[in-house]
Amino acid sequence: MMYRSGSSGLAMLLTIVSLLVFAFFAFMGLEYLLGGDHVISLLITLSGMTLVGYCLKLACWGKETRMKNKGRVIEVLSLLAIAVLLFFARTPFSQFVYVVNHEQEIDSLVMEARDAACRIDTAYVEYAEKRLSNYERYLKKTKRLSTSQTKQSVASLKRRLLPDSVATVREERKQWLDGVQRVNVWNIATAKNLHYIITASEDWVKQYAALSRVIYEGEKDCEPFTMEVSDIKGRYAALSTAQKPFLWSDIAMAVCCLLIFTYYIQSLRARSRYQGFRH
């Protein structure tokens, strides 16, 4: 592409900046739609941005070339390709605009999810300690065991319910959860953290349930650990499910698209002036 004036350089700068802004919004929208998968989101965004930039360059070349018929075909096909690419990018773009508009609700959701995750560990420790206490009481009342034997039996159950490996994982998890503070939806880590907290909570409950299935003789009416996970997952679905584009997202996208075509529009004006001078 040829630089004809300072205005062309400014137009190209606006096009590049607008394309980068649009790509960032699409990337962030994909982050929430794909559960924080950075690699896939980045690959899709870079591929789309590269194709749009290349097609825009082809459209300008087709407009400027002396091969009028061939150039016209290339120009039209390139513009159509850009329109198709931007149409598909509308979904992730609109998704992030939706997220930004609901930032306060998302911040509340993250804090609620973190607190719920913390309660799982606390609830299981309380469950295990209650079982150990009841089992020790049972041994003292019904079994003629020495104090040493009673302690050994209780310790055996404790190793099954609260193994050292689980204690280590629980401590690491607590440190990570404590580090999850108020969120910023513009941070690329937010989508992944939120997805992890919500989806992992159910897995943690299942892991504790599996540990607690071991029931010793004398543990009457004892059931494996269970805990109801709150309805956070249902509320999170709105962020991970494509939302229908709305007014503000369409306005923002229209402005971005118009600015992306700044250089192409400037080239049209430049060509019109050039043809006018020739006459």
State pLDDT tens for residues 184-234: 888 888 888 888 887 788 888 888 999 999 888 888 888 899 887 766 777
Closest CA to 55 of 85, 16, 26: 85
Contacts of 22 (CB under 8 A, 6+ apart): 89, 93, 253, 256, 257, 260
State pLDDT tens for residues 131-167: 999 888 888 887 777 888 888 988 999 999 988 888 8
Domain ranges of the chain: 6-102+243-278, 103-240
pLDDT the model gives residue 181 = 67
* Residue 170: how many other CB atoms lie within 10 Å: 18
Higher pLDDT, 122 or 220: 122
> Concatenated DSSP letters for 65-116?
SS-HHHHHHHHHHHHHHHHHHHHHHHHHHHHHHHHHHTHHHHHHHHHHHHHH
Contacts of 173 (CB under 8 A, 6+ apart): 117, 121, 204
pLDDT the model gives residue 271 = 53
State pLDDT tens for residues 250-272: 898 899 888 888 888 877 655 54
- Residue 24: is its pLDDT beyond 50? yes
What pTM did the predictor assign?
Answer: 0.76
